[in-house]
Structure 1
Amino acid sequence: MSSTSTPNRGLTKIATNRLQKELVEWQVNPPAGFKHKVTDNLQRWIIEVTGAPGTLYANETYQLQVDFPEHYPMEAPQVIFLQPSPLHAHIYSNGHICLDILYDSWSPAMTVSSVCMSILSMLSSSTVKERPPDNDRYVKNCRNGRSPKETRWWFHDDKV
């Protein structure tokens, strides 16, 4: 190994291999509406998402930050919107996303692409631009840099 290359700290070999494979697949066949901003950090991806045509978010661009845990894909990545986050009933103003596949319903069969498509679908199906009803309370409780993975989410809205 040359002195200029640094291994991705904190990722198992399985996680590293999986992420490298997903990255190649993304470059060959990127999901529509998404751009991966290339960095040298395999453990944190920044992904640009553009709202789908004909939706409330058409032509609006947002950024997702995807942080991969040591044991990815056995453990879900942490996915948040960077500021400014879209105005949506399941997206808090601090960028945290209330979406079951990011927490309880995660499966190792899922990929970054499938997560992105789920987020775009969630955005596309929205009929109003509004924050979650408990946004202010939730964001206040997250002030000290709390991860959305530390939240006990309550998934009850199957319409969005």
Structure 2
Amino acid sequence: MATPASQNLGRVAVKRLQKEIIEWQNNPPPGFKLNPTDDLSRWTIEFDGATDSFYAGEHFQLQVQFPEKYPLESPEVVFAGNPPVHPHIYSNGHICLDILYDSWSPAMTMSSVCISILSMLSSATEKERPADNDRYVKTCRKGKSPKLTIWEFHDDKA
């Protein structure tokens, strides 16, 4: 990956992302594909739903935007295209998952984030949108980062 947009990233972020890319190439999370891009701060990741879940046979794409202070700050991770129908995933692709916000740790990597998202999908007990999907999507203007949302994490069953 080339790094023309790396000037938007701090030096620590650039080093960390370069290390994560090498680790991904050597040991990718099972079932995930990192699509090369010329912008180190933006990743596109593809994966399929687990075979023993509601999402078997479905294909998904994540868009990742890394902040200047990554890994001290969490990346913005959203579903692109047609997001899965899930109680913690809004129809605009925003994901209500605590590790992407309040519970982020600099020890986490994009590989661990991907595994967490797949685990969240695989443990779904029903295939439906969040109860407040329509209201949230309507009030969440196009282009608004999910990191600007004040999330409430109270349901770990879905």
Please give the TM-score of this superposition, normalised by the length of structure 2: 0.96
The question of 1:15 aligning with 2:21 is answered no
In the alignment, the residues of structure 2 paired with residue 85 and residue 5 of structure 1 have an alpha-carbon distance, to the nearest angstrom, of 28
Within the candidate set 105, 112, 120, 1:114 is matched to 112
Structure 2 residue aligned with 1:63: 61
Q: How far off is 1:70 after superposition?
A: 0.1
Within the candidate set 143, 147, 156, 1:149 is matched to 147
Structure 1 residue aligned with 2:77: 79
The question of 1:134 aligning with 2:140 is answered no
In the alignment, the residues of structure 2 paired with residue 6 and residue 139 of structure 1 have an alpha-carbon distance, to the nearest angstrom, of 33
Q: Output one character per residue of 1:17-45: Cα deviation in whole Å (capped at 9) or x when no partner.
A: 00000000001110011100111111000
In the alignment, the residues of structure 1 paired with residue 112 and residue 3 of structure 2 have an alpha-carbon distance, to the nearest angstrom, of 30
SS of the aligned residue for 1:158 comes to coil
In the alignment, the residues of structure 2 paired with residue 119 and residue 31 of structure 1 have an alpha-carbon distance, to the nearest angstrom, of 12
The question of 1:105 aligning with 2:103 is answered yes
Q: Which runs of 5+ in 2 are unaligned?
A: none
In the alignment, the residues of structure 2 paired with residue 132 and residue 54 of structure 1 have an alpha-carbon distance, to the nearest angstrom, of 22
In the alignment, the residues of structure 1 paired with residue 145 and residue 4 of structure 2 have an alpha-carbon distance, to the nearest angstrom, of 26
Q: Counterpart of 1:67 in structure 2: which amino acid?
A: Q
- Equivalences for residues 4-43 of structure 1 within 5 A: 6=4, 8-43=6-41
Identity of aligned residues (%): 65
Structure 1 residue aligned with 2:92: 94
Q: Counterpart of 2:108 in structure 1: which amino acid?
A: M
Q: How far off is 1:127 after superposition?
A: 2.1
The range that moved more, 46-55 or 71-80, is 46-55
SS of the aligned residue for 1:45 comes to strand
Runs of 4+ in structure 1 over 2 Å off: 4-7
Q: Counterpart of 1:32 in structure 2: which amino acid?
A: P
Residues 125 and 157, structure 2, Cα contact 8 Å, conserved in 1:
no
Q: How far off is 1:145 after superposition?
A: 2.1
SS of the aligned residue for 1:113 comes to helix
Q: Counterpart of 2:86 in structure 1: which amino acid?
A: H
Q: Output one character per residue of 1:47-105: Cα deviation in whole Å (capped at 9) or x when no partner.
A: 00211111111121100001000000000000000021000000000000000000000
Number of paired residues?
A: 157
Q: Counterpart of 1:61 in structure 2: which amino acid?
A: H
